[in-house]
Structure 1
Amino acid sequence: MKISFLYLTLLVAFLTTHLTQAQVKPFTFVGEKIKAGSKHSVLLPVGKGENSTVIPVTVFHGAKKGPVLGITAGVHGLEYAPIMAAQQLPKYLDPAEMNGTVILVHIANVPAFLHRSLRVNPVDGKNLNRVFPGKPDGTLTDQIAHVISNEVIARSDYFIDVHDGDANGDLRPYSGYYNYFDMPEVSEKARQMAVALGFDFIVQFGNEQSLTEEAIYCSREATKRNIPAVDIECGRKGFVEEKYVQQIQQALLSLMRHLQILEGKPATVQNPVMIAKRTSVSSQHEGFFYSDLTSGDYVKKGMKLGYITDLFGNHVVDVTCPTDGVILYKTFNPPVKKGDGLFSIGHIN
């Protein structure tokens, strides 16, 4: 009996694929063994009784060996562009075609998301991105941070936390990474990751000798564990704008290509603007804030950025620029309290 060349080719491809998958061990995640070339979704329980929640996670375990990439979206529940990008990302990932593993946290802070709560968890009033590494016996937000730190970050070889400008922030998209002088290898790998995300602005966090204090921030917890980590800031004003959702998706896929989890080349930007320092401008009064500027505008030291009126509409003070740079973030809606951040200005070398 004659066997066609096409049949032999398909048989060899089939046997090669299955032999390769057989050599890749299952990935164990919270007690579940996930076979090579498959995915598994789970709701991680956090807390007990009324003060409890879940964290939706999908693990994509590739058919071939490779690194583990952890991804978190929705650390802040009103940052919709990252959350929507995470919801759509699975359709771009086929574990049978992947090298390594992706741990995707769809929404880190479910209570804040469901209650449309700005920056804090409504259960305990805490900002999840200010309590890492968390506590197993703390309040619900502390426990969420503890679960993410130990079940996601600790399992990762590389890590990315995705944010946007939330409901009152006009933000210019950028990527960011932590740079500490006594961690040159981790910092350099993180820099390469930030470049691979394809943003034309890259912000360096840290820029200090060492990281000695508590992590506080999600991605800095990864850095503290010697795991190269990056951030995305993309999206604004509490909107679901498809262009920013798509930009985040493409950035995540580009990062996976850089890490060789996916085939292909990353979509890097030639000569991105590197920002090593930022200056915050805060309100010294309560009332109404007005400004005609927008994120991405270039500003000069001493120029008028806007002004504040009291609750009757009387002019109180002009807001002036403390340094030359570019507006990365600004409060775009009227209400302000004393101490509220109005602008984040990136210094450009």
Structure 2
Amino acid sequence: MKNIVFLVILIFTQYSFAQTFFSFEGKEVAAGTKAHFKIPVEHEGVSTFIPVTIFNGATAGETLGITAGIHGYEYPPILGAQRLIQSINPKELTGTVILVQLANVKSFLGRSPYVNPADGKNLNRSFPGKEEGSISEQIAYFISNNIINRVDYFLDMHAGDAPEDLMRYGAYYNNATMPEISATGKEMALALGFNHIVTFNTEGKDYMKAEKPSLYTSAEAFKRGIPAIDIECGRLGIPEAEAVDQVEQAVLLLLQKLNFTSKLKVLSTTPAILIKNRIYTDSTVDGIFYPLKKAGDYVVTGMKLGYTTDFFGNIQETIYAKADGLLLLILGTPPVNKGETVAVIGLIRN
């Protein structure tokens, strides 16, 4: 009798924890395997696709969604995602990972910063998208409704676009009315291994209102009650090998933190510096910008960060630091347009 009871318990335990297939776009991805998908998108005779890889673990668990290449000129996350195709082993995975390794193929192939050349839209201002909208709106709609709505955690990966000298950091979404989700996001961001973590405070933001669009990829996830984090790793559209390595390792550390993989790597014992708020400075003129500082520099209020001349060399505007803090971003290339952000300072103090 004892042997029968033991056998029943063993069978029940194996049944409870064994992974089943993961259904995606009409295909069943077996446990312990991965599968690649090319999701077609077409609008008014213009077509593209979204490359997606599903890693369905050998053991049942939660689901993590990852997007890279929302901006096609931000290369380190895109190349890091290519690495993940090989470095995530579904046979050793608990749960499921949905990886969009390059959301904006048209932007990537067109070497187009910020916007999708197919419709001139910024994909990271297009969420939650439209099912029958333009190319970017359809991509946003698919990610929102076929990926984000199926995950327990979400990560969006970015870098400094073509003109942006950007400091590397992780980030998480925070809102006082969502304390548990915010706290989980913070722990996820800390697990990425970056020296600095930025808090995306969402109190009072229009995109958090039910009747307003979320605009940003990870904001769409957070608005749906999913812990959401970002990676910013890379600068000036340069595919630096070190940045690519850091993106890949950050994701592997996150998988470890969330118990998708066994704990093989030692987490950093150096506490990350938390950046509570950000101060933006926009240009008031068109012209040629000359930066005097670089991303990662500590600056103090009133410090000269750069200046803009007209096309005859006459100084039209000087940019000064509006606060003490860390220079997260500064325009790193000469062209500047009125209204564009030229500098972002992270405030470390409360």
Do Structure 1 and Structure 2 share a fold, with TM-score over 0.5?
yes
Q: Which residue of 1 aligns with 2:237?
A: 238
Q: Which residue of 2 aligns with 1:64?
A: 59
Give how far 1:268 is off.
3.8
Give how far 1:270 is off.
2.9
Give how far 1:227 is off.
0.8
Residue type of the alignment partner of 1:66: G
Q: TM (normalized to structure 1)?
A: 0.92
Which of 68, 74, 80 is 2:69 aligned to? 74
After TM superposition, list the pairs within 5 Å mapping 1:196-235 onto structure 2: 196-208=191-203, 211-212=208-209, 213-235=212-234
Give how far 1:47 is off.
2.2
Give how far 1:302 is off.
1.0
Q: Which residue of 2 aligns with 1:322?
A: 322
Give how far 1:50 is off.
2.3
Which of 142, 145, 164 is 2:137 aligned to? 142
Q: Which residue of 2 aligns with 1:39?
A: 34
Q: Name the CA distance, whole Å, in 2 between partners of 1:209 and 1:115.
A: 36
3-state SS of 2:180 partner: helix
Give how far 1:241 is off.
0.5
Give how far 1:267 is off.
2.4
Gap runs ≥5 in structure 2? 1-10
CA contact (8 A) 1:195 1:268 kept: no
Residue type of the alignment partner of 1:248: V
Q: Name the CA distance, whole Å, in 1 between partners of 2:269 and 2:176.
A: 25
3-state SS of 1:198 partner: coil
Q: Percent identity?
A: 47
**Match status 1:161 vs 2:160:** no
Q: Which residue of 2 aligns with 1:106?
A: 101
Q: Name the CA distance, whole Å, in 1 between partners of 2:204 and 2:220.
A: 17
**Match status 1:254 vs 2:253:** yes
Gap runs ≥5 in structure 1? 1-15
Q: For the structure 1 residues 319 and 139, does the alpha-carbon distance in structure 2 shift closer, same or farther, using more than 3 Å as the test?
A: same
Q: For the structure 1 residues 266 and 253, does the alpha-carbon distance in structure 2 shift closer, same or farther, using more than 3 Å as the test?
A: farther
Q: Name the CA distance, whole Å, in 2 between partners of 1:229 and 1:290.
A: 35
Give how far 1:123 is off.
0.9
Q: Which residue of 2 aligns with 1:283?
A: 283
Where has structure 1 moved over 6 Å in runs of 4 or more? 19-22
Q: Which residue of 1 aligns with 2:3?
A: none
Give how far 1:286 is off.
1.0
Q: Name the CA distance, whole Å, in 2 between partners of 1:281 and 1:160.
A: 27
Give how far 1:266 is off.
6.0
CA contact (8 A) 1:258 1:266 kept: no
Greater mean deviation of Cα atoms: 39-48 or 160-169:
39-48
Count of residue correspondences: 333
Residue type of the alignment partner of 1:328: L
Give how far 1:48 is off.
4.5
Give how far 1:67 is off.
1.1
Give how far 1:295 is off.
0.4
3-state SS of 1:202 partner: strand
Give how far 1:21 is off.
10
RMSD: 1.8
Q: TM (normalized to structure 2)?
A: 0.92
Q: Which residue of 1 aligns with 2:22?
A: 27
Residue type of the alignment partner of 1:45: P
Which of 182, 192, 195 is 2:190 aligned to? 195
Give how far 1:20 is off.
6.9
Q: Name the CA distance, whole Å, in 2 between partners of 1:334 and 1:209.
A: 34
Q: Name the CA distance, whole Å, in 2 between partners of 1:115 and 1:224.
A: 31
